[in-house]
Amino acid sequence: MKHSIKTTSLFILLIIFFSNNCVSQTSKKEKTNKINYKIMEYNKLTPEEERVIIHKDTERPFTGEYLNNKQEGTYVCRRCNTPLYRSEDKFDSRCGWPSFDDEIKGAVKRVPDADGLRTEIVCNNCGAHLGHVFLNEGFTEKQTRHCVNSISMKFIPKADKNLRTVYFSSGCFWGTEYYFMKAKGVKHTTVGFMGGHVENPSYEEVCRQNTGHLETTEVTFDTTKTSYEDLVKLFFETHDFTQTNGQGPDIGSQYLSCIFYSTPEEEAIARKYIDILTSKGYKVATMLKPVTKFWRAENYHQQYYEHKGSKPYCHKYTKIF
């Protein structure tokens, strides 16, 4: 009888043990599956981004967002946010796409291209198409050129307390940006739209003059090398701030003159120079408005004259101050 009870007890213990073990294994599998699922969750891409990143197409040369980016920071995969390149490894190869002579270790995978001639580069984490790599061209000592589509990456700027970003509208943003991007102390410029009521407007929508936006240039500058006051003076000296219906031959509400201010200090400096110009006899049409959401314009608008190799048709520099 005692033997029977012991046998039964042992049997029950074994059942409990194996049941717990199965539950534990199932739990581990579920946990593993969740982790893998999270790894496979990528950023949502636009059709244009999918065309390059998934379907391995190529963006047009000299149109990429980061071609002329000189800011310090890190370039990450647009699809999965994996760090790919450092700004110190970027160089100007004049090929029409951002070029790097090195990658972050283990971040980029090389695979034979479908054409049988070139070597494709992809994100080692998610397989996103980046571009191609070329060797022994003599550009740098490393003899390596990663030719990368801007659209395949996102840029994370290095935190710098000396950098400051401001916004100016003075007609066609191609011309506004042309002068600011060449100014002393300016680290980066981007053209886009501000002041309207439509989210993420396209250039075509803004041109219809029913979104309320102005063509605007975002200017990031180093406060140790230049000042907001210097940039305000450049703003007034590079366009006709007395014109009330546009700028030069460009007529329309999207071309009006405006300074968007972020702080009371910026507003005060802008008003100071409007008063100076008024005292000189000018009828200043420039508006002052608080900063609102800045919407970046399409890639082909960025650094337009730099890519085209020409000068603005409705902006010119005239010394005033």
For 147-215, give the DSSP string.
EE-GGGEEEEEPP-TTEEEEEEEESSHHHHHHHHTTSTTEEEEEEEEES-SSSS--HHHHHTT-S--EE
Q: How many CA atoms lie within 13 A of 222 on its CB side?
A: 12
| pLDDT tens, position by position, 2-21 | 445 444 554 454 444 444 44
Question: Which pLDDT belongs to residue 228?
Answer: 98
**pLDDT: which is higher, 308 or 171:** 171
Average confidence (pLDDT) over 183-211: 95
Top pLDDT among 32 and 211 is at: 211
- Residue of 46, 131, 34, 128 whose CA lies nearest to 81: 128
Say yes or no: do domains 48-156 and 160-308 share a fold: no
**212 touches 197 (CB < 8 A):** yes
pLDDT value of position 71 = 87
Give tens-digit pLDDT for 205-264: 999 999 999 999 999 999 999 999 999 999 999 999 999 999 999 999 999 999 999 999
In angstroms, the CA 167 to CA 290 distance is 10
Mean pLDDT of the chain: 89
Res 34: pLDDT: 39
pLDDT (tens digit per residue) in 45-100: 999 999 999 999 999 998 898 998 888 999 999 999 999 999 999 999 999 999 99
- CATH number (3.40.50.300, 3.30.1060.10, 1.10.8.60, 3.30.1050.10) of 160-308 reads 3.30.1060.10
pLDDT of residue 29: 42
CB 123 within 8 A of CB 114: no
Using alpha carbons only, give the angle 156, 161, 166 rounded to the nearest 5 degrees.
Answer: 75
147 is catalytic: yes
77 vs 41, more confident: 77
Instruction: Tell me the chain's radius of gyration from C-alpha atoms.
Output: 28
pLDDT at 309: 84
Confidence tier at 115 by pLDDT (50, 70, 90): confident
Q: What are the boundaries of each domain within the chain?
A: 48-156, 160-308
Contact 155, 138 (CB under 8 A): no
40 pLDDT band (50/70/90 cuts)? Answer: low
Which CATH topology does 48-156 take? 2.170.150
| More confident of the two residues 158 and 153 | 153
Burial class (CB in 10 A: 0-12, 13-18, 19+), 45: middle
For residue 81, how many other CB atoms are within 10 A of its CB?
15
- Active-site residue flag, 258: no
With contact defined as beta carbons under 8 Å apart, do 94 and 104 qualify?
no
- Residues 112, 119: Cα–Cα separation, whole Å: 5
Q: Under a CB-based contact definition with an 8 Å cutoff, are residues 184 and 101 in contact?
A: no
Residue of 123, 147, 258, 314 marked catalytic: 147
Q: Which of 159-163, 165-169, 317-321 shows the lowest per-residue confidence on average (mean pLDDT)?
A: 159-163
Does residue 121 carry a pLDDT above 80?
yes
**Is the pTM above the cut of 0.85?**
no
Residue 133 has pLDDT above 70, yes or no: yes
Which one of 22, 80, 126, 172 is the catalytic residue?
A: 172
C-alpha torsion angle, residues 143, 145, 146, 150 (rounded to 10):
150
